[in-house]
Amino acid sequence: MTGGIRIPLAFTVGLFLFSTTAMAQTELHSHRDLDWEAPRRWVHVDNVDPKKAALFEKARLEWLSALQKGDSLLGDGRALFWYAKGKRLHTYFTFYPFRNWADIDARVKMVEATNKIVGKDALDRYDTGDSGLVSPHYSQVWRRSNDDDIVWSGTEQLSELTAAVGRLDVHMPVLQQSDTIDSLWKEIKTALVAQKYPLACRAYLTTYGKGQNMMLWLAPDSTAYSKAPSIESILKQQFGKRKGGAILAKFREIFPVQESYEIRRRADLSNLGR
């Protein structure tokens, strides 16, 4: 692959290249005009005690109410929420798109300005939700890897902004196997597109994080997601039982899934501005 599934060089050169391409951005006051075609995402991950998830969400909803000023919704740097309900933890993923570090600087200034407007009392109430946090909670930078997406005309409209449900698979490539991973992924992509697979796959690479590959499998609704056939069945249909099974087995061996989350978009917790 030309994008995310290759072993990254981000740990040595990524931040340097990232900063040297910075460009000025006009001051932001809301998330209304965020560029969701931008190649990078600031992603914050909050793990929450299931017993305190209601408190965490209540604080978020009250905070969103505090951000409403007339017909506007002030930006708070946390634009789009996705959510995974686990038995041990509930996990909230926040997405914020950006092109360069100047955009992140603008985000910081926007948050500071918003905090001054809403005031300390609203901030303190929002912070009560943090009592539900469980380690680890952290931020990452994900870079889009468009060439590694798997979409066709029936799924190309699906993204983290438009889909309703899906799955996040977190992969860690086996060192020295990037060429083989590339080759296998192309075969998987060929099969899924040919068979009009009902889920879109959007690919990302963490450039500020652990160097993992993030694969978002997205559906327009829970029905489409639950009825999607397995990738294994698609590969066997496309290539035959023996070859299809071998492709998937090798791929899973050298591109293993470290973590997997069943996720849904939380419009109620998101702040997309207006």
Q: Where are the domains of the chain?
A: 10-21+29-141, 144-264
CA distance 89 to 49: 5
- Give the contacts of 118 (CB within 8 A, at least 6 positions apart): 66, 67, 74
Please check whether residue 71 is in contact with residue 274, taking contact to mean a CB–CB distance below 8 angstroms: yes
Place of tokens 């994080």: 209
Both tokens of 14, joined, read 């990524």
User: What is the pTM for the complete model shown?
Assistant: 0.88
CA distance 123 to 137: 19
**Closest alpha carbon to 203 in 253, 169, 254, 237:** 169
| C-alpha 85: how far from chain center | 16
Whole-number pLDDT of residue 210: 79
CA distance 126 to 62: 7
Please state which of the four CATH numbers 3.30.750.24, 3.40.190.10, 3.30.70.100, 3.40.50.620 is assigned to the domain occupying 144-264. 3.30.70.100
CA distance 264 to 154: 20
Whole-number pLDDT of residue 28: 58
- Give the contacts of 247 (CB within 8 A, at least 6 positions apart): 184, 187, 188, 235, 239
Fold match between 10-21+29-141 and 144-264?
yes
For the residues of the chain, what is the DSSP string, one character each? Answer: --STTSPP-IIIIIHHHHHHT----PPPSSSTT--TTSSEEEEEEEEE-GGGHHHHHHHHHHHHHHTEETTEE---S--EEEEEE-SS-EEEEEEEEESSHHHHHHHHHHHHHHHHHH-HHHHHHHHGGGGGB-S--EEEEEEE-GGG-B--TTTTT--TTT--EEEEEEE-PPTT-HHHHHHHHHHHHHHHHHTT-SSEEEEEEEEESS--EEEEEEESSHHHHHHPPPHHHHHHHHH-HHHHHHHHHHHHHHS-EEEEEEEEE-TTT-----
Whole-number pLDDT of residue 15: 41
Beta-strand pair 200-208/213-219: antiparallel
In CATH, the number for domain 10-21+29-141 is 3.30.70.100
CA angle 215, 145, 147 (to 5 degrees): 105
Burial bucket for residue 39 (CB in 10 Å: 0-12, 13-18, 19+): middle
Phi, psi dihedrals of residue 130, rounded to the nearest 5°: -65, -15
pLDDT one digit per residue (tens) for the chain, 274 residues = 545 454 444 433 344 343 433 333 345 588 999 999 999 999 999 999 999 999 999 999 999 999 998 888 999 999 999 999 998 999 999 999 999 999 999 999 999 999 999 999 999 999 999 999 999 989 999 999 999 999 999 999 999 999 999 999 999 888 789 999 999 999 999 999 999 999 999 999 998 877 899 999 999 999 999 999 999 999 999 999 999 999 999 999 999 999 999 999 999 999 999 8
